[in-house]
A and B are shown apart, each in its own frame.
Chain A
Amino acid sequence: MAANKLTVVISQAQGKNPVRRELEETIAARLLLESDIDVSLVPHVYDMSADHSGLLFLRALSGDLVFLSWLYPRATRWVLDRQAVRGQEGQSLLGGEDEDEDEESLDDTPAAESAGIGSIDVPARSIYCIDMRASDAADDFLEEIRRIADERSVETVGLMDWIDGSPRPEQLQRYLRSPDSGNGDSGNGGNGNGDSGNGGNGNGQTAAAGTEMEPTGRRWYPVIDYTRCTNCMECIDFCLFGVYGVDQRDRILVEEQDSCKKGCPACSRVCPENAIIFPGHKTAAIAGADGIVENLKIDLSKLFGAPSAVDLAVLERDTELVADGRDAVGNSVGLPRRQSGHAQRHDELDNLMDDLDAFGD
């Protein structure tokens, strides 16, 4: 039985940054030569709307997946999750300055630590999310991908390379640009029993060249990290633009992604668990960076009068309301009335409500 190929997907950067493009193409070209790896390019994952062909391709993948993007790994993971591309969290060692922390925490069970409601319908395959800003050198990524590939393979079957010898650069370029040359169409017995091992090629559509797919526009919407989300519903109370909704299991979800006001991060500030990510935001913590972003310098903003997170969120929301032709509401709408020192008495009405809730289960 042929060993499953490892699928590597490169989610291309927004815009036409030549340095980023070159890194993507170098990694892709080198991975093409690896017989146990399938590589594909898709547009920037955050910008693909639900019906984009790139996402259709990703959803059809069933095995382990290494996903390279220009976002923090946590952001990538939850963007994919919302688009029904799910898996166990694969641990990557390519984490920049936080490497020591990552290695220590590899022993921790993420599930044990998180109080969140977690994701659902997670298949038993691993997704390794890697941030392409972690290094300038293609070699670092190739080493890490090789490490992941070796770690998961039990036995290697000798596969005949379908590329004879070393391809010339123009040949590689043609390969990368052409949507017709598929990863799985090895043809010449590369996979012993004819199983392409790559479900996405079943319908003939491949994602070999992300640049050939339909163009994407720049989008802006929140992404929920369900390892932190406790379903408290403060976000849906706070957002007055209808971005949030509740699914059939009464779980919070980002329902109308494109109703979100471009650039507004207000809801991420009111979330008590910091579970809301805006992957494109300039502040690392809001963009999904893990842990505390270390600075060599002290941030004195709090001392010099920075408004609290909630105050800032209120200001940002009012800005968007006014821009939309609506009235500013200040903090009078959508915020829990947090009265300090006020004992919450559980009265008969509360009991009745609890009984009704329990009745529905």
Chain B
Amino acid sequence: MMGKFEARIPGDRRYSDSHLWLQPVAGAQRVGFTAYSVRLLQDVYFLEWSIEPNTRVTSKMEIGEIESSKALSTLYAPCDGRLSAFNDRLLDDPTPINTDGYGAGWLYELETEAALLTAEQYREVLEAGWEDTQRLLKGQLN
């Protein structure tokens, strides 16, 4: 439980500690926001990528920006790899991020060999980070 929000973490995929899920699909990993991210963002207004598809990326490299009703953020690559494709439909209409974050709301596909977290490990990340996240939310809301 994250405060009053019951976090459901699908077991059929892997995770990163930057709150993204990764699911294998035809030689690459499909990447999207976890429910936790979506809950913090609320309605996504605007999504922009700062690199081209088929680009090598390194962990924590800046790859784009997102803005929503409640938040904004730079987006970073979760690990080393090669970003092969973006979900172009989101650029016209990012609502699938909110309505189907684990399905049609996928962000991009990434070829990577990096080790990823299991659902259980991600749950631990959420619990461990909850205190800090609260401070982040409260500090910035003032």
Residues of A within 8 A of B (CB): 295, 297-307, 311
17 new A-B contacts at CB < 8 Å, known A295-B72, A299-B71, A306-B74:
A297-B68, A298-B40, A298-B71, A298-B72, A298-B141, A300-B37, A300-B41, A300-B72, A300-B73, A301-B73, A301-B74, A303-B19, A303-B37, A303-B136, A304-B75, A305-B78, A307-B60
- A303–B16 Cα distance when bound, in Å, is 11
For A302, give its contact among B41, B70, B136 (CB under 8 Å).
Answer: B136
For A295, give its contact among B18, B137, B140 (CB under 8 Å).
Answer: B140
Q: Which residues of chain A have C-beta atoms less than 8 A from B19's C-beta? A: 303-304
Q: Which residues of chain A have C-beta atoms less than 8 A from B16's C-beta? A: 305
Contact between A297 and B71, CB atoms less than 8 A apart: yes
Interface of B is mostly: mixed
Q: Which residues of chain A have C-beta atoms less than 8 A from B133's C-beta? A: 303
Q: Which residue of the partner chain A has the closest CB to B74? A: A301
Q: Which residues of chain B have C-beta atoms less than 8 A from A307's C-beta? A: 60, 76
Within the complex, the shortest CB–CB distance from B47 to chain A, in Å, comes to 13
Contact between A298 and B74, CB atoms less than 8 A apart: no
Q: Which residues of chain B have C-beta atoms less than 8 A from A299's C-beta? A: 71-73, 140
Residues of B within 8 A of A (CB): 16-19, 37, 40-41, 60, 67-68, 70-78, 133, 136-137, 140-141
Interface of A is mostly: loop
- A306–B60 Cα distance when bound, in Å, is 6
Contact between B72 and A304, CB atoms less than 8 A apart: no
Q: Which residues of chain B have C-beta atoms less than 8 A from A301's C-beta? A: 73-74, 76
Task: From known contacts A300-B71, A300-B72, A300-B73, infer whether A305 and B140 are also in contact, taking CB-CB under 8 Å.
Answer: no
Contact between B78 and A298, CB atoms less than 8 A apart: no
Contact between A311 and B72, CB atoms less than 8 A apart: no
Q: Please, could you name 24 A-B residue pairs with CB atoms under 8 Å apart, sorted by A?
A: A295-B140, A297-B67, A297-B71, A298-B40, A298-B136, A298-B140, A299-B72, A299-B73, A299-B140, A300-B37, A300-B40, A301-B73, A301-B76, A303-B40, A303-B136, A304-B37, A304-B74, A304-B75, A305-B16, A305-B60, A306-B60, A306-B74, A306-B76, A307-B60
Q: Which residue of the partner chain A has the closest CB to B59? A: A305
Within the complex, the shortest CB–CB distance from B115 to chain A, in Å, comes to 15
Q: Which residue of the partner chain A has the closest CB to B37? A: A304
Within the complex, the shortest CB–CB distance from B112 to chain A, in Å, comes to 14
- A306–B70 Cα distance when bound, in Å, is 19
